Amino acid sequence: MLQRLQKIMASAGIASRRKCEEIIAAGRVTVNGSVARIGQSADPDKDHVKVDGKLIGSEMKVYIALYKPKGYVTTSADKFAKRIVTDLVHIKQRVYPVGRLDADAEGLLLMTNDGDFANRVMHPSYNVDKVYVIRLERVLSRSCLKQLESGVVIDGIKTWPAKARYLSPDMRLVEITIHEGRHKIVKRMFREVGNYVVSLVRVRIGNVSLGSLKPGSFRHLTEREVNGLRAE
């Protein structure tokens, strides 16, 4: 069946559809040996679609929940990284992280080869909750907590309203729920209210929780979890 190239690429886990269009425009995609053009369609089961010379095509979609340990990076673009999260998931299909989690952070990381699914989970307009448990350097006052809930300005852009609550009497252990995924956004939000993150664990994304996973272990999402994230 004919499909737009950007859809084929996104489904193969190359990138979001918008980014795939940029890759096509850059001349990095070929169909049966000819350089592809924007708006072109192909049959992933019959045509040879290549990105940067590597053949892609239709494959079984895979959805993984990984407990990312500290010290692992979520991008293969870091040439100096010795430990990458993809090294922890030993399955036949090649999967990619859905969003980021800093090297010194730990917790739930979704991985997939479904670009459309990844974009839906990451984009703030879909309101998929990302829940973190944060240990802070000092007491977080109630006024600062309210600031986080109202939104703080970072790089000239106000963050989306968060949900926050104390998890300990000393007011240094906090749970925060956000929707967006800007670079180091959680740490920068707390820094904006005059505090510093000592440790960060992501415990939930949408309807998927860390549960009983141990650092470095993973599991496949259930059909119900995948459908729930699609419906967020």
| pLDDT tens, position by position, 66-125 | 999 999 998 765 656 678 999 999 987 889 999 889 999 999 999 998 888 998 898 888
Same domain (yes/no): 20, 134? no
pLDDT number for residue 56? 80
**pLDDT tier, 17 (very low <50, low <70, confident <90, very high otherwise):** confident
Give me the catalytic one of 52, 78, 87, 102. 102
How many domains, the chain? 3
DSSP, res 112: E
CB atoms within 10 A of CB 181: 17
Tokens of residue 133, six digits: 């448990």
Domain encompassing residue 94:
63-124+207-231
Supply the CATH number for residue 98's domain. 3.30.70.580
pLDDT number for residue 211? 93
More confidently predicted of 45 and 223? 223
Same domain (yes/no): 219, 113? yes
Among candidate residues 176, 209, 220, the one with its CA nearest the CA of residue 195: 176
Q: Is it the case that residue 142 has pLDDT exceeding 90? A: yes
Q: Is it the case that residue 232 has pLDDT exceeding 80? A: no
Supply the CATH number for residue 194's domain. 3.30.70.1560
Q: How do residues 31-71 score in pLDDT, each as one tens digit?
A: 999 999 999 999 877 788 999 988 886 667 899 999 999 99
**Spatial separation of the C-alpha atoms in residues 6 and 18, rounded to whole Å:** 8
More confidently predicted of 153 and 120? 153
More confidently predicted of 23 and 75? 23
Q: What is the CA radius of gyration of the chain?
A: 20
Beta strands in 17-158 (DSSP E): 29-31, 34-35, 41-42, 49-51, 54-56, 63-68, 96-97, 106-112, 130-136, 153-154, 157-158
Does the annotation mark 155 as catalytic? no
- Chain-centre distance for alpha carbon 2: 29
Domain boundary among 56, 71, 95: 56
Helices vs. strands in the chain: H and E counts, helices first: 6, 17
Same domain (yes/no): 100, 211? yes
Supply the CATH number for residue 48's domain. 3.10.290.10
More confidently predicted of 207 and 7? 207
Same domain (yes/no): 110, 220? yes
pLDDT number for residue 137? 97
More confidently predicted of 49 and 131? 131
pLDDT number for residue 18? 87
